[in-house]
Structure formats: C-alpha cells, structure tokens
Structure 1
Amino acid sequence: MPLLLNIDTATEHASVCLSKDGHVLGMIESTEQKNHASFVQPAIRQLMADAGYPLQQLDAVAATSGPGSYTGLRVGMASAKGICYALDKPLILIHTPEVMAQAVVSREPLFDPSFLVCPLIDARRMEVFTALYNASLSEVQPPHAAIIDESSFSELLNEKTVVFSGSGRTKLKGIVSAPSALFSDVQHHAGDLAARALKAYESRLFADLAYSEPLYVKEFFNPQPKL
C-alpha cells in the first residue's frame, strides 16, 4: 500500500494530494496560477501535518511532467525532485494530458468506453497543448502543440466520438460543431495524478532524478525588449 505525494502545478489549477494505495487521504488546491511557487511548499507541509505522516514515510513522489505552464512545470518538478533527493525516494512523472484524461474517464457522467479523450491546454492565441487517449488511457497520440482552426480533428471526428476537456476546449467549442465532438467541464486535480502514479509505482516506472526534465513540447520564447 504505497504512500505517495502527488504534485500538480502544470496548469492554472494547482493541487497537491497524499494518497495511500490510490485512495486520496487529503488534498489542497489553488487557482492562483501566478502564485504556484508560493503555494506548493506550504501546501505540502500542511498536507502531511494534517494527515499525520512525516515525509520520510513516503514511498515515492509524483508530479505532472508537462506540457503546461513553463513556470508551473519547473515549480512542480523542482519540488518533487528536491524531496526525492533529500529522502532518497523514487520520482514518478506523468504527462499532464494523461492526468486530465484520467479525470474525464473517471468522473464525466456522459463518458462511454467507445469514446476517445482529447485534453486541451490553452497555450495562448489559437494554440493548444494536446494529446489523445482511449478509454483505457492508452496513448493514441502523444503530447504535442497544435493550432486550432475549423478543420481541427475533422478526420478523427468523422470516425469517433471525442470528449474534449481542459482550458483549451472553449477555443475548439466555438468553431467545431460536429455532433461527435463532446465537451467536458471536468477539472483534473492531484487525485487524478494519484491514480496514474499508483499504476506507475506498481510497474516500477520511475524517472531519472538527475536527468529528467519537464516536457515543454515547444521551446520557451521570451521576447527581448527593444533598446
């Protein structure tokens, strides 16, 4: 019955949770994206104190690896790595869209096993970070960046019913009217990460502490001010 600390700061909705054998013992959430860095460490301390467990009793630490907010990904992974290094615990990294898909499959009332799940993370303008999963959460398309337009997913929607979720779904909802396109308001959280992390732990799928990095999908661009 592994005790896992789960950290998700990849999107505008941040959360940390403590889980034992996949069951959530406690969770703390924040919707203040600009404050993820100041949220994580105090939240972890409060979470562990409330649950009555010292960090030393953790069996592993899990974090969403991306894609998502560049700053948020660095905050989450740095926190997870720091704890793992200090306590000699294994690190588990799960792609953000997989965690989002877990939320839809487990909590969307209208979801059917024949559907596909397509999480969409807003990446500004008409761009999104996305991936595609089936009902068993096997990866159909890996995480990637995409530009949304009227023809997006048209071939796929001619063959399958697809449930779109995440902050980028509103971009698609405004321009795609195919009846096979469904839109879910289900918000993922660290409890969904816990479910995926348990499977990774049981399969001993641990990340390399020294060399693992966030999955940014595309390079960070920081425009330099004109002199």
Structure 2
Amino acid sequence: MSDQHYILCIETATSTCSVSLSNRQELLGLREAREPNMHASALTVFIQELVADCGITFDSISAVAVSKGPGSYTGLRIGVSVAKGLCYALDIPLISVNSLLAMAQGYLTDNAELGKNLVLCPMIDARRMEVYVAAFDTHLKELEETKALIVDESSFSHWTKKGYFVVLFGTGADKLGALFGEHNEIEVVLGFQNSAAHMMPLAWQKYNNQSFEDIAYFEPFYLKDFVATTPKKMF
C-alpha cells in the first residue's frame, strides 16, 4: 500500500476561495484569494494550478474534503458541487468538515499557547448583527453547537460570568470591535480569514476513520434557508 495519501481541501464558506493539497498532514500547496463572487470562476482554476504545481496527477488524489458550512449559500453550493464532481469522476471518497470547526483548528494552529479557561467562538457573517457561531475549548471540544445568533452586548455573558475568556474571530467578528472593544473578558480578533489549510488535520482524521459522505445525497449545511430578493420596481 502506498504511503502517499493526497487530500484536496476546498473552502468556499466565505468570500475567501481557498484550495489546499496535502500528503497525510503535510501541506504541499495552497491557492487562495479573497474577493466577492469569485468562487464560480476561480475554484476550478485554483485546483488545476495546485495539482500541476505540486507535481501530481488527479488520479493520485485519495480524497476530497470540503467545507460544508455554515456560510455563504452560493459559496457552499459551488464548493460542494465541485467536490462531488471530482469524487464522482475520480471514484474517491468525499469528506465534509464543519466550517466553524475548521476555523477553530486554524486559530489553534496559529496560537499554540493558550490559557485553559478559554472559549473559542469562530464566526461567519450572516449580515447586520447576525452571525453563524459555535463555541469550542482549546481541545476543539464543542461547547455550544453551531447556530445563528443576533449579537448584542450580553451574548457571551454566560461565559464571562463563569470566569472564561472569550475569543471572537472570523468574518462575523470583524464587525464587533466597537461592541466589545472595552470588554476585558472578550477579545475580538480582526482580519481572521478562512483557509483550506485549516481543514487539513480534520480531513486527515476523518480519512483515517473512513468517515465519508454519501456523494449522491450529501448537501451543504446551510443552517438557514436561502431567501432570494428581488429589486424594487422603479416607477
């Protein structure tokens, strides 16, 4: 059996379009950019460039992992569609990773030394003061399941009253600096970006456990139904 296990990771839950390629847990390459509405035009190009630059063929890929949501309805739909198409064409398994869990993994990777009484709250913007959020400890144990939350000044008081320090990060946290800027028990980390590289350890763990999705029936975790809007009529 080959020691090479190439896993392609796709992250499209936010405006960041990101693709990584790893061998087991070794990151071989990364392609990503942040620009609104770029997923449809850039995702397959990034994948082709990445596979070519890493010197492998598509037939060498062992599995495709995709960020399943929550997040942008359109972004998730494109990412999952491309991931399923690759898995069908290459006859390889599909792995899904919760987008917020991957963000927490990424934060821990970048911040190795953290206190014990810490609550990590990755957030994805859901417009206005609403966010998609979950809560994890520093071992990635889920403390609060993924949900949609309209944030106000008391949203995390149940943690701070118990002596926990709360860290907010992600596109949903970028708009909360003014709200929690003077709060000593809450840190708002600005500019944190989703990345397919954050998915790599989680995808490898699922690959080892053979925790695969049914390609035919798998759908993104939208959390909320898509609501189409129409422009107002001009008279």
Same fold (TM over 0.5): yes
What TM-score do you get using the length of structure 2 for normalisation? 0.91
Gaps of 5+ in 2: none
Mapped partners of 2:66, 2:105: distance in 1: 15
- Tell me what 2:187 maps to: 182
Runs (4 or more) in structure 1 with deviation over 3 Å come to 224-227
Alignment of 1:126-165 (within 5 A): 126-159=129-162, 160-165=164-169
Paired AA for residue 32 in structure 1: E
Residue 14 of structure 2 contacts residue 194 of structure 2 at CA under 8 Å; is this kept in 1? Answer: no
TM-score (norm 1): 0.94
Q: CA deviation at 1:183?
A: 2.4
> 1:213 is matched with which residue: 171, 195, 219?
219
Counterpart selection for 1:202 from 199, 208, 219: 208
Per-residue CA deviation, residues 72-116 of structure 1 (Å, 9 max, x unaligned), is 001110110000011110000001101110111110366334312
CA–CA separation in structure 2 for the residues paired with 1:33 and 1:208: 30
Aligned-CA RMSD value: 1.5
Change (3 A) 1:123 1:89: same
Measure how far apart 1:172 and its partner are.
Answer: 2.8
Are the aligned partners of 1:149 and 1:172 in contact in 2 as well (CA < 8 Å)? Answer: no
Task: Report how many aligned residue pairs link the two structures.
Answer: 227
Q: Distance in 1 between matches of 2:111 and 2:98?
A: 20
Are positions 1:42 and 2:45 aligned together?
yes
Distance across 2 between alignment mates of 1:113 and 1:201: 29
1:37-63 CA distance string (max 9 Å, x none): 111101100100001111111110001
The 1-side partners of 2:115 and 2:42 are apart by 36
> By how many angstroms is 1:135 displaced?
0.9
Q: Does 1:64 align with 2:70?
A: no
Q: 2: distance between equivalents of 1:147 and 1:96? A: 19
Helix, strand or coil: the match of 2:229? coil
CA distance in 2, matches of 1:181, 1:49: 44
* 1:95 and 2:98 matched: yes
